[in-house]
């Protein structure tokens, strides 16, 4: 893969991340009206991840969604989930950060690893090799 292609994916990943974060954050604030903050976080995260999967397939990595990729996609977000959940817990519970701000700060720490793992899960390696071999 050439650097322009990689840079394009990174930019598209960033745009999808902004949309995904906005969806997550809106749902988090909505769910927090009726649920404890960690439960609101988990529910909002799961729902936003479904939307993120389709945006990642169609827009970021330009690949066809499949059930296999859909079922594997949560693995690409496992790092994001662990870092953002632990970060949220630490920021709110230990450092007393505002519950409305803490999820945004915690989510920012997980972005680079999420890109690497999402790319690994969603990109068909045989298609990538074929593209690279074409003159």
DSSP state of 124: -
DSSP assignment of 22-82 equals HHHHHHHHHHHTTS-HHHHHHHHHHHHHHHHHHHIIIIIS-----HHHHHHHHHHHHHHHH
pLDDT along the chain (135 residues), means of 10: 78 88 94 95 93 92 90 83 88 93 85 81 64 47
C-alpha Rg value of the chain to the nearest Å? 16
Sequence-distant (6+) residues with CB within 8 A of 56 are: 13, 16, 73, 118, 122
**Single pTM value for the model:** 0.68
pLDDT for the residue numbered 129: 43
């Amino acid at each position: 893969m050439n650097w322009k292609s990689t840079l394009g994916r990174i930019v598209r990943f960033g745009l999808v991340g902004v949309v995904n974060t906005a969806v997550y954050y809106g749902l988090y604030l909505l769910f927090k009206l009726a649920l404890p903050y960690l439960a609101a976080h988990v529910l909002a995260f799961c729902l936003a991840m479904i939307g993120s999967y389709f945006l990642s397939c169609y827009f970021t990595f330009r690949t066809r969604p499949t059930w296999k990729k859909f079922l594997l996609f949560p693995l690409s977000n496992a790092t994001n989930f662990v870092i953002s959940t632990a970060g949220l817990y630490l920021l709110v519970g230990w450092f007393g950060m505002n519950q409305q701000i803490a999820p945004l700060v915690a989510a920012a720490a997980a972005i680079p690893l999420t890109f690497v793992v999402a790319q690994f899960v969603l990109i068909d390696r045989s298609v990538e090799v074929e593209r690279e071999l074409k003159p």
